[in-house]
Structure 1
Amino acid sequence: MFKSLLTTLIFDEKKYKFYDLTKLDVSFYDKLPYSIRYLLESAIRHCDGFHVLEKDVKNLLNWENTQFQSIEVPFKPARVILQDYTGAPALVDLASMRNVVKELGGDPNKINPICPVDLVIDHSIQVDSYGNLDALVKNQEIEFILNKERFKFMKWGAQAFQNLQIIPPGSGIVHQVNLEYLARIVYSDDNCLLYPDSVVGTDSHTTMINGCGVLGWGVGGIEAEAVMLGQPVSIVIPEVIGYKLINRLPDIATVTDLVLTITKNLREIGVVGKFVEFFGPGVATLSIADRATIGNMCPEYGAAVGFFPIDCRTIEYLTQTGRDPQVLKLIETYLKANRLFVDYDDTSKVPNFTKVFELDLSTIVPCVSGPKRPQDQVPLYNLHTEFKKGLTSRVSFKSFGLREEEAVKEVPLVINGRNCVLKHGSVAISAITSCTNTSNPTVMLGAGLIAKKAVDLGLEVPPYVKTSLSPGSGVVTKYLEASGLLPSLEKLGYHITGYGCMTCAGGSGPLDEVVAKAVDEVDFDYTERQQNEGIDCLNDLIITGVLSGNRNFEGRIHPQIRANYLASPMLVIVYGLAGRIDIDLENEPIGIGKHGPVYLHEIWPTREEISYFEETFVKSRFFQEVYSNIKGNEQWQSLECPTGPLYPWDTESTYIKKVPFLDGFKINPKNPGSIKNAYTLLKLGDSITTDHISPAGSISRTSPAASYLLSKGVHPKDFNVYAARRGHDEIMTRGTFANIRLINTLISKPGPRTLYVPRNEEYDIYTAAMKYKEEGHPLIILAGKEYGCGSSRDWAAKGPFMLGVKAIIAESFERIHRSNLIGMGIVPLQFLSGQNSEKLRLTGLEQFSIDIPDDIRPGDRVKVEVFYNTFEILVKNGVEEFPDHKWGRTLD
């Protein structure tokens, strides 16, 4: 439809073609943000009058007006990327689809990804062994023992499905592998047609790829499967916030400090669902790894993307990471021809943005973020006072609500023959982990230099601190070895524990048994209070984790660690050495060395030191050596798997099971219709994350999921984690809302339990849901702001669906999770502006009938009838009067 824009480009005596966007109305095109130009190019290239219409192209070209009109446009990305925790259930769905097609008399081989798919196995490994030279080998062995069945299934998928590439375990973290190896920047297809690389992924931090100028974002697994099968993603034409960076970072600050500041600022501005595009001379001072770090945290500041258009520094990075120099010249030529290449120092060619905000990099100060959310930034030198204050302040995202006498609790320990004391604020996990920072040589080498200085001065890490180093790829190990810094890290206990997304994704592994016991052990001094008040009196220490990650939601890092702080790898080492979070780093010594007290300034490296090590030891050949031939380790290569187009389902498997969602599949399914007489399964507050809804971590031995596994003969030591069992609906359904920190106001204590309203009885959530299902009662959930924030997680929608939840009424939803809910047939209903459960005096004890039209569209209003079904329920639950009407009312 736009063939007139096809233009020939001769490069290196070869003829290429591309859609020349500059032939459009230039007065409009030159004003467009670069991220919108990428959407426009894709729309033009795929405009077929069916998936993509001519009006979609015009709407994008007219972005200055359409950005405010909630107009949807289709987008077809160049590829899809999956990690194994989200990729395995996607493959289970595809394999199940093949069975359905076979049952309907069709050819199962027709179920194949049309869009190229890369699946990186990086989430299965966890920190079981640490602090020793054998940690990596031991953890990989445990990973294969626990995940052998999953790995067989994924390896089967690699040979069964077309357009599917598996990156084996041990290769690195998905987003770092994407950045260093998988990103094409510009594609050249079989017909020599050039077009920009773009990607959607089933991990919310897919946005990390925006740092090198590839437009990409996270989607739900259901959306990703649709894209894999050739469907476009539907997006609302976004507002684009221009974020101008000026000057450069001061010597004391790191890019982690910068990204935590940006996260806090953009959260306050409000960029949920919008594009953020970075520009200005400050961007030119940032490396691609720095930009990727900022792009990685995009879900934490709420935007759909945090985009950095390609400049000469991007090309330099691609050269360093081993890309073909001739291909890079072609890429640069194409991008400049299509006006997709920028010079950040040239302020005369800045596009129009919806709004513009500015940040002076020279004002950035060292900071961390926590203790329960990534957007809660704390200046470094305020942390000790804020933590101490938060111990006894009323429970909030910053506080814990302890009594004054509880706040001074100390527990003496003996670990490996060494005496020590555990107390509130003690650092129990110190982990250099996650894609956020491990792709960044500046902060990784900085951490190594701190370790070297600390070792030289005679500092040691306290024995109760669990230390780990999980690089994002083998490249990190190579430059740490070449620089001579790895031995110092190992001397402090930061041995390499694995190449994968470990602590940040909940793969922190168990604490030392002595530490774990001390945290939860009964304190016999409080037995009188226990008897008088009827409570469980535990030590309940608020111990902490410090990690170079991007997520620190409650219960995510480790169930016993209630305070978690995101920090640079350099500060991870510092707090690991100090052994406590409540240290005044400005005035107190980190520890006692060979010659006396050692202070922060004595071990903190200068920017010049770090730059020297980066320029000297981060070599292009390291990238080529690591990525030249990714075959996986010997265990992967020798792993035998089934063959053939249909997967041979094992009915006794507790890892892989054909999904029940397609049972009774019909070509023309009926509309689910309105919801009648639904009860409230849970009444929740703000910031309910996907970790609350579908935990990724360990399976409690007292949980419904554990009972099921025990009934199948699985020993507790082999339970693995919930995330590894996402290919099995029976376990994942039982694990829905199993987070021990879940606060459901229908009951009095945090935990995975709820009230069965018809009989005023308390059960675990799964049992209550099954009782409702047996009696034919549909369910809803009431919630506050940001319902479903956090990681992209299919089972956070699939699990509630399996429990019988038909609708969720919340103040706001996270974008990806809302799409997942819709994909599962759960209706996401949003309170009108200014309203919530409390203002409408909804107790969760009511029943709800919701009128859902067949043609419901985003933004439509629906009527919700709210009522009590019997006077007995009213009295039994202590409700003496009902607002507006004794028996019920209607909400709009």
Structure 2
Amino acid sequence: MSIPGKDSLKTRRSLQAGGTSYDYFSLAAAQEKLGDLSRLPFTLKILLENLLRFEDGQVVTVEDISALGEWLQSRSSEREIAYRPARVLMQDFTGVPAVVDLASMRDAVARTGGDPERVNPLIPVDLVIDHSVQVDRYASPEAFAANVELEMERNRERYAFLRWGQTAFGNFRVVPPGTGICHQVNLEYLARSVWSEQVDGKHLAYPDTLVGTDSHTTMINGLGVLGWGVGGIEAEAAMLGQPISMLIPEVIGFRLKGKLREGVTATDLVLTVTEMLRKKGVVGKFVEFCGPGLDHLPLADRATIANMAPEYGATCGFFPIDRETIAYLQLSGRDPQVTALVEAYAREQGMWREAGTPEPLFTDLLELNLAAVEPSLAGPRRPQDRVTLPGLPKALETVLPEDASRQVPVTGTDYSLGHGAVVIAAITSCTNTSNPAVMLAAGLVAKKALEKGLARKPWVKSSLAPGSKVVTDYLVKAGLQEPLDALGFNLVGYGCTTCIGNSGPLDEPIATAVREGDLTVSAVLSGNRNFEGRIHPQVKASWLASPPLVVAFALAGTTRIDLSSTPLGNDRDGRPVYLKDIWPDSAEIARLTAQVSAEMFRKEYAEVFSGDDTWQQLPVPEGKTYAWDAASTYVKAPPFFDELRQAPDGLEGFEGARVLALLGDSITTDHISPAGSIRPDSPAGKYLQEKGIGPADFNSYGSRRGNHEVMMRGTFANIRLKNEMADREGGFTRLLPEGNQMSIYDAAMAYQAQGTPLVVIAGKEYGTGSSRDWAAKGTLLLGVRAVLAESFERIHRSNLVGMGVLPLQFLPGQSRRSLALDGSETFQLYARKAPLKPGQTLKMAFVREDGSRQELEVRCRLDTLNEVAYFRSGGILHHVLQGMLGSR
């Protein structure tokens, strides 16, 4: 992307690093006009540099730059700024629909006689295929090969489409399947901490920044790289040169001191941090870590904490560049020129953390003594609900039925299942598999358990899905893969499996026992998400835990146990074996961690974009535009760009709108967006069967994100969705005024046939969870014009705006309950001829079944002028396309 180069403050300078000269935009030079910036939070220094570099007098002004410089005076700001990240990161679930959108935009340009290649990423984009592998085979040496083969069979159409994108679009790279999780590949290979490029014949250096189409993009903040998750829609706009509009954020400091105690892991720490920050309330804010505790916190532990920023609600959880950052860049095999530039640039810009120097000044500050952290889990349904190891049985009781002693015999076996049984134990997810200490600890627990004669309980589906091949290298070198295999933790794939619901089916006798006994069974996983219905449709209680604890619970076979005081089992001589008997000490873990080498990283990432023979032999369609296959059930041209509307000056409004769903608090994107398996009796399942696809070949919703017909039928179809208008769980509602109960999709289509606009009404924290753009796209295609909630999660609110769906917020003290709404009402949003303004109050009215009418004011959650412009155009991509076609 070109640099405007206005530089009103005359801050462009040069520095030397590794024998090369780099230009950069100097914060020290900016201080001459803006005042002392030395104690500005590191994250805001990065934003300030971004404004200096992109100042053009229109989108970025000197006034914007001054507002950031003045932040220290009040430590907050209402100023809207335009931010441009250096690059974009995608995974395949969100990447496929993004490429589908870009291909459709090319079609729209071509229809007008324009050059379709105008639709092309302007900044580097990396897409890592990591979300499609499923745990079908497990506890077998053949599991990895079998699962990869099934993945390629199921996703051949999608992968061929991505290979077309790789050749058709510039600035677009694809990391093939079977390589690793996008966040771990980003941490170990793609990120640089300081980016550089050739601009006008000169080397230009600037902070490595990114947005990603996965909420856990924040993991890279552990490496001093500012990045966060956005919806696919917003990421596509960033690729196409649109700035990200944002308010200058509040920055919450989190001061760490002391050291973790013996036996306490980074997972225990992150669950503690998540609990503290959720209680504090940091939604929409930056969190920045500081304090002497950082001197004892390895980079992998920092990345573990940064990864879970979505769980504690922050936009990001940032760790500044310091000596540990440089050590990790060297360990992971980065080019010496890169590490030389990182240190030279960070020191020159005041972005280097040095022990003993004054800490930044923050909006607010929390503090944690690392020595106070205890072994923990989180669950049974939310990642912020931390429980200590002894407190697990009591926490489980909250979701058990009154008759909690029920036992159901498992057909063909000599055992039975009861409530709390662990049916899934998975070492998976970017959060922990990037951390050698906890992964090696899991291997050591397995080794010591075998030596004691312990075994995995036969009803436990166990799996190991590392985030990169480097993990396998160091487990093998340490001699720990073999004991993990012996306990059933064989390699099942390199990707995000159980954490996103790709846990695969339970063995049929187990599934039957759970179903017939209506058992509340458990999953224990080393992931970051455990929302209801996410991990597996038959699992009602899911617990986040460290990898070594995952192994321990596979041995125990139940979560109705206090592992701190109750034996896991007996050794060969009949003596009880406790968790402490097989738990490794920190010296043992450190000794093995020291064996992890730069050579491992260099070897595994040498041909990271190549893929195996199957990938390389995929057919690649040719052409600037994509040749859509009308028979495809995986990739279809969406209707989003069939028509481009003229942007109205005000607000069109609507009347006679019906409520499609009346929802409670903490409705996640898992509840809204299609995810997991497709039921044969669901609208999506019926559609696929009408197309000749049998249930065995349905694949998952995630794999079919490139087909809007499947996805709109799966929107609001989660089996655990509680719509207060229906008398059963799942994606059901009542068609009004008749009152007939039916699927939300069928009701929406009936309303569309009548020309009836729709609204969704919800409680607090609407749209929490993963940054799923289909939660907004599906909402739009169902005919929903507005969502009225008590509060929104940041990414989902932005996605709604990006698709032209209006987010509205109850004023304080009002809610669906205070207004006694039951979903039978009709709603009116008053049209406005005056231009919309960010955050303004709008007027609504509703009419009850008895004919009584009530008016209320609601807050319009178009938060910035850019969002207003996007909404007026019908969405962010429409706004970009209209600009290309000269129609606005």
TM value normalised by structure 2: 0.94
CA–CA distance in 2 between the matches of 1:12 and 1:209? 24
Contact 2:674 2:711 in 1 (8 A): no
- Give 1:56 shift: 1.4
Counterparts of 1:506-545 in structure 2, within 5 Å, are 506-521=501-516, 539-545=517-523
* Unpaired runs of at least 5, structure 1: 391-398, 522-538, 875-881
Identity of aligned residues (%): 51
1:409 aligns with 2:389: no
- Give 1:179 shift: 0.2
Letter in 2 for 1:145: E
What secondary structure sits across from 2:511 in the alignment? helix
Contact 2:196 2:203 in 1 (8 A): yes
Q: 1:150 aligns to what?
A: 158
Q: 1:204 aligns to what?
A: 215
Range that drifts further, 511-520 or 63-72: 63-72
Cα distance change of structure 1 residues 137 and 852 upon mapping to structure 2, 3 Å threshold:
farther
Contact 2:767 2:797 in 1 (8 A): yes
CA–CA distance in 2 between the matches of 1:189 and 1:443? 36
Letter in 1 for 2:699: N
CA–CA distance in 2 between the matches of 1:732 and 1:695? 6
- Give 1:189 shift: 1.0
- Give 1:69 shift: 3.9
Deviations 1:19-39 (A, max 9, x none): 111112264311210000000
Letter in 2 for 1:244: R
- Give 1:620 shift: 1.1
Q: Over aligned residue pairs, what C-alpha RMSD do you find?
A: 1.4
Counterparts of 1:417-496 in structure 2, within 5 Å, are 418-496=413-491
Q: How many residues align?
A: 844
CA–CA distance in 1 between the matches of 2:260 and 2:472? 26
Q: 1:789 aligns to what?
A: 768
Counterparts of 1:620-769 in structure 2, within 5 Å, are 620-630=598-608, 631-666=610-645, 673-769=652-748
Contact 1:59 1:66 in 2 (8 A): no
Counterparts of 1:224-243 in structure 2, within 5 Å, are 224-243=235-254
- Give 1:889 shift: 3.9
Contact 1:60 1:66 in 2 (8 A): no
Contact 1:678 1:778 in 2 (8 A): yes
Deviations 1:764-810 (A, max 9, x none): 11001111111111110110011000000010000011111011110
Deviations 1:409-461 (A, max 9, x none): 1101245xx41121100000000000000000000000000000001111111
CA–CA distance in 1 between the matches of 2:408 and 2:650? 59
Q: 2:841 aligns to what?
A: 861
Contact 2:304 2:431 in 1 (8 A): yes
- Give 1:891 shift: 4.5
Q: 1:837 aligns to what?
A: 816
1:112 aligns with 2:124: no
What secondary structure sits across from 1:759 in the alignment? coil
Cα distance change of structure 1 residues 298 and 546 upon mapping to structure 2, 3 Å threshold:
same
What secondary structure sits across from 1:154 in the alignment? helix
Contact 2:192 2:338 in 1 (8 A): no
Q: 1:396 aligns to what?
A: none
Range that drifts further, 660-669 or 729-738: 660-669
Contact 2:17 2:337 in 1 (8 A): no
* Unpaired runs of at least 5, structure 2: 1-5, 859-888
Counterparts of 1:300-315 in structure 2, within 5 Å, are 300-315=311-326
Of the candidates 810, 817, 825, which is equivalent to residue 846 of structure 1? 825
Deviations 1:808-858 (A, max 9, x none): 110100000001001111111111112211012122111100125363233
1:2 aligns with 2:13: no
What secondary structure sits across from 2:293 in the alignment? helix
Of the candidates 587, 590, 593, which is equivalent to residue 611 of structure 1? 590
- Give 1:104 shift: 0.8
- Give 1:212 shift: 0.4
What secondary structure sits across from 1:751 in the alignment? coil
CA–CA distance in 2 between the matches of 1:844 and 1:96? 36
Q: 2:44 aligns to what?
A: 36
- Give 1:72 shift: 1.0
Letter in 2 for 1:541: L
Counterparts of 1:85-484 in structure 2, within 5 Å, are 85-190=93-198, 191-343=202-354, 345-346=355-356, 348-388=357-397, 390=398, 399=399, 402=401, 404=402, 406-414=403-411, 418-484=413-479
What secondary structure sits across from 1:194 in the alignment? strand
Contact 2:77 2:250 in 1 (8 A): no
Contact 1:370 1:563 in 2 (8 A): yes
Deviations 1:243-264 (A, max 9, x none): 0000000012101000000000
CA–CA distance in 1 between the matches of 2:127 and 2:21? 33
What secondary structure sits across from 1:60 in the alignment? helix
Deviations 1:315-358 (A, max 9, x none): 00000000122331222111101111111x31x32111111111
Cα distance change of structure 1 residues 888 and 831 upon mapping to structure 2, 3 Å threshold:
closer
CA–CA distance in 2 between the matches of 1:867 and 1:668? 29
Q: 1:46 aligns to what?
A: 54
Range that drifts further, 18-27 or 795-804: 18-27
Cα distance change of structure 1 residues 657 and 65 upon mapping to structure 2, 3 Å threshold:
farther
Cα distance change of structure 1 residues 575 and 639 upon mapping to structure 2, 3 Å threshold:
same
- Give 1:637 shift: 1.1
Contact 2:137 2:146 in 1 (8 A): yes
CA–CA distance in 2 between the matches of 1:652 and 1:672? 39
Cα distance change of structure 1 residues 494 and 22 upon mapping to structure 2, 3 Å threshold:
same
1:21 aligns with 2:27: yes
Range that drifts further, 149-158 or 840-849: 840-849
Contact 1:672 1:825 in 2 (8 A): no
- Give 1:12 shift: 4.2
Contact 2:18 2:340 in 1 (8 A): no
Contact 1:413 1:422 in 2 (8 A): yes
Q: 2:882 aligns to what?
A: none
Cα distance change of structure 1 residues 163 and 14 upon mapping to structure 2, 3 Å threshold:
same
Deviations 1:27-70 (A, max 9, x none): 43112100000000011011112332221111111112575342
Q: 1:549 aligns to what?
A: 527
CA–CA distance in 2 between the matches of 1:186 and 1:113? 21
CA–CA distance in 1 between the matches of 2:80 and 2:67? 9
1:598 aligns with 2:577: yes
Q: 1:500 aligns to what?
A: 495
CA–CA distance in 1 between the matches of 2:352 and 2:18? 20
Q: 2:752 aligns to what?
A: 773
Range that drifts further, 46-55 or 818-827: 46-55
Contact 2:91 2:214 in 1 (8 A): yes
1:561 aligns with 2:535: no
CA–CA distance in 2 between the matches of 1:436 and 1:623? 19
Letter in 2 for 1:513: E
Deviations 1:511-544 (A, max 9, x none): 01001111112xxxxxxxxxxxxxxxxx210000
- Give 1:13 shift: 4.0
Contact 2:719 2:731 in 1 (8 A): yes
Contact 1:241 1:354 in 2 (8 A): yes
What secondary structure sits across from 1:621 in the alignment? helix
- Give 1:18 shift: 1.1
Deviations 1:659-693 (A, max 9, x none): 10111235757876102111101100000000000
Cα distance change of structure 1 residues 240 and 491 upon mapping to structure 2, 3 Å threshold:
same
1:57 aligns with 2:65: yes
CA–CA distance in 2 between the matches of 1:891 and 1:358? 40
What secondary structure sits across from 1:88 in the alignment? helix
